[in-house]
Chain A
Amino acid sequence: MATRPSVQLRRLLAALALACLAVTAQAATITIVNNDGPTEGFNDPTPAAPVGGNPGTTIGQQRINVFLYAAGIWGSILPSDVEIRVNAQFNPLTCTANSGVLGSCGATSLFRDFPNAPFAATWYTKAEADKLAGYDLNPASADINAQFNSNVGTTGCLETSGWYYGYDNNEGTKIDLLAVVLHELSHGLGFICFVNLSTGALNGGYPDIYSRFLLDAVTGLHWNEESNAQRAASAISGYNTLWDGAATKFMAPLTLNDRPVLTLNTPVAGSMNVGTASFGPPLAYPGITGDVVLADDGAAPTSDACTALVNGGQVAGRIALVDRGTCAFTIKVKNAQNAGAIAVIVADNVASSVPSGMGGSDPTITIPSVRVTKLDGDTLKARLARGLNVTLRLDPALLAGADNLGRMLMYAPNPIETGSSISHWDPMASPNLSMEPAINSDLTTSVDLTRYLFEDIGWLPRTTGVPVASPPSAMLLRANTPNPFAHSTAIRFELPREGDAELAVYDVSGRLVKRLVRSHLPAGSHVTVWDGTDAAGQRVPSGAYFSRLKVGEDTGSRCIVMVR
């Protein structure tokens, strides 16, 4: 069976690949145009203590710093000879004590049929069109408009929270402005669909470049090939709208975790997607198998497990099925655990096409738990009388957030839910991604797979996961670049045919320093990155090292020199 690198290695590879490309790309200049007046927004003179790496000493300075930080991240990744201008301002926006508009962002204009356009009759956002054309197609206009709420955290506006201006993702109960700005800039740069999702109508009668990569798994057609009715149907097709881009597909296994699933063993074989819990042990291999019993706590509604179970004799040694509602997930799972359950399935009480995760914390919980949609929960309950046996496990052949062929799922809920459909990844993705419809608190400053989506739509030259036109006749490990290096170095290799490949770094005594790749790879060119750390993430000393590539019986090695 094909093997893939461990979750940790996959995440590391993704981060490293991003870091490398950020170094090697010709950086774009992203200019934040401060549209605020004196003493407001970016110019707010209110004193503030430096926070989370943000050295600003006024609210205004800290806001500017966050925008510049986000612009620096994208600017280091996206190559463009044309300045990208972001008109930005802070204003009072619609807000109440508990809900509020944080901000909005988008492209100022679209362009098609410009010089060097990769696709004719196709809309591109201004920033990307300028980059591809090589000059500013409309110097009179900025590329992106961004507006953020200046009242967040004040009386009457999300007053128990507020903006967090640090760079370190330590926002607590505040709102991480950096994560929001990174997300919003991604939309303005091109992570956005311009189709009217209600009618399926193309924008002005023409597809946009993003829509060309949307694949309707029901029809097998890309959105630019479909009718309005087909596009409108695809927009609410659940897991049937996919991202069909080579770079993103290549990087997905290096980014995503294995998919958690509920496998039905008896009375009917099948599989369900599940949401996972932030508490208790995670699902593992080969998983946990057991008969399923509906929990009963003796108090209506009896199956919510909000109090001690009264059917402990039945639950003990089995998997408890409980309903969502009334109390916290941790309380339900703890009650089932106390009754002797070996695992818990929480059935949602609200219709949804997406099995969300479960938040909460309780270090005393020692059994795994998962969440299924209301529809799947009803299916499980209907089969209880026939002897329901299931396995809760990670499926190493599937990715959390991709279809069975490894293509990223786009957010296409049915019925339409709050959250911007199609212009986001499906929230089933794990780990959480920066362009999911909810900005989760565990996000870092990584732009994860968004960088590869941008490669797919033409922002960057195709370098990821694209086989060479003619595969080499033999395995080839190329010299790393740069060499010597100080921070990170890219290691490229080519495979003549599909196969299991392992690439690792050794020191001069032959000791394994770090394994960079251990995966089943397609024929063609590949690249990975070493950042000069060992398997524990510690920086290794300056000196000579060796990269070693092994594919089947073939091996090759190269010398790497690190100088700090």
Chain B
Amino acid sequence: MSRPRPSPLVPRRVPLASAAVAVTGLALLLAGVAVAEPSKTPPRDAVASLTNPSATLPAPAPLLLLPLGTSGMMVAIEPETGALVMPTREQMLRLTAAEATGLLRTSADLAQTRLADGTVMMDLQGRFMEFEVARIDARGRPHVISVNDLGALLRLFDPATPLPAPCVEEE
């Protein structure tokens, strides 16, 4: 099956808002069954679905990488320009769909559903997850750090980045 393949030479530029929405949708679409707990059934007594018109689009992560299909292809969005680009080799971490979704911190496109008793529910669709990442230091000791954005996660995978301040190092 052929898949869209962004050119590394001629990045396709799209407006930031559109790109953010597109990427979010892409992530969820591609996540498929890999998203840990998709909403399979409508909430009990759901009578209406609300969206919040006042919500603002959040600033995207420094570089959002998303899987494109199932072959390991990745597409990236630059937060400064909104451009869809091919990530560099260093940035090419093959996040799973569930990981990419879990790092999202936007709720602008998530529905707020009012139940019969007046309760309002927001299904987070696998977003707003807190991650734990381990990094082995030069002495072979693991450091475990909490992260919740892609930029932080990428930095921990970059051996050139010093371990962050929360870690107690030996030098």
Contact = CB atoms under 8 A, between A and B. Distances in A.
B140 interface: yes
B130 A184 contact: yes
Interface in B86-107: 93-96, 98-99, 102, 105-107
Contact of B130 (A87, A98, A420, A436): A420
A417 B167 CA distance: 12
A196 B171 contact: no
Interface range for A: 35 or more
A93 B99 contact: yes
A110 to B, nearest CB: 5
A108 interface: yes
A44 B154 CA distance: 30
A499 interface: no
Given A93-B96, A174-B142, A420-B146, A145 B122 contact: no
Contacts of B39: 140-141
B134 A102 contact: yes
Interface stretch (A199-207, A239-247, A398-406): A199-207
Nearest to A144: B37
Contact of A104 (B37, B131, B143): B131
Contacts of B133: 99-102
Interface residues of B, number: 72
A356 B166 contact: yes
Contacts of A105: 129-130
B132 A103 contact: yes
B136 A357 contact: no
Contacts of A100: 133-134
User: What DSSP secondary structure best describes chain B's contact surface?
Assistant: loop
Interface in A167-194: 173-175, 179-180, 183-184, 187, 192, 194
Given A205-B54, A330-B170, A418 B147 contact: yes
Nearest to A102: B132
Nearest to B137: A98
A440 B135 CA distance: 13
B17 interface: no
Interface string B3-23: 000000000000000000000
B59 A199 contact: yes
B122 A99 contact: no
A147 B98 contact: yes
Contacts of B25: none
Given A356-B168, A419-B166, A147 B36 contact: yes
Most chain B CB inside 10 Å of its own CB: which residue of A92, A100, A228: A100
A180 B131 CA distance: 10
Interface in A313-361: 324-331, 350, 352-354, 356-360
Contacts of A438: 143-146, 164, 166-168
Interface of A: 35, 87, 89, 91-94, 96-115, 123, 129, 133, 137-142, 145, 147, 152, 158, 160-161, 173-175, 179-180, 183-184, 187, 192, 194, 196-199, 201, 203-205, 228, 278, 324-331, 350, 352-354, 356-360, 411, 413, 416-420, 423-424, 427, 436-440
21 contacts: A98-B136, A101-B153, A104-B131, A105-B130, A106-B124, A109-B124, A114-B117, A140-B40, A145-B129, A161-B134, A196-B106, A199-B58, A356-B168, A359-B168, A359-B170, A360-B170, A418-B152, A419-B146, A420-B146, A437-B146, A440-B168
